[in-house]
Amino acid sequence: MSLLRELVDLNLTETTEKIIAEYIWIGGSGMDVRSKARVCLHFAFPLRLVMCDAYTPAGDPIPTNKRFNAQKIFSHPDVIAEEPW
């Protein structure tokens, strides 16, 4: 069995308490490799979708990290109290 197949078929049962998913990409300059491991949400089967925030090395959210401000808005008590239509 190939390593890729093993990763695709990775057994993430209910007994798995913690998962670290690291997102790796080539930086905007094309000359560096970047990665993040700050997982916000992990949606289990049937899809394995991981949502991550992106931060500068100093720990500040990058300008295109829209999830950072969205999380502040969506966690506000007035927003939480809203009833969806």
Question: Where exactly are the structural domains of the chain?
Answer: 1-52, 55-85
Q: Report the share of the chain in percent with pLDDT over 70.
A: 71
Q: What would the mean pLDDT of 45-55 be, rounded to a whole number?
A: 68
Rounded to whole angstroms, the Cα distance separating 71 from 74 reads 5
Instruction: Tell me if the bond preceding 46 is cis, omega within 30° of 0.
Output: yes
Structural Rg of the chain based on CA atoms: 17
Q: What is the DSSP letter of 84?
A: P
pLDDT(46) > 80: no
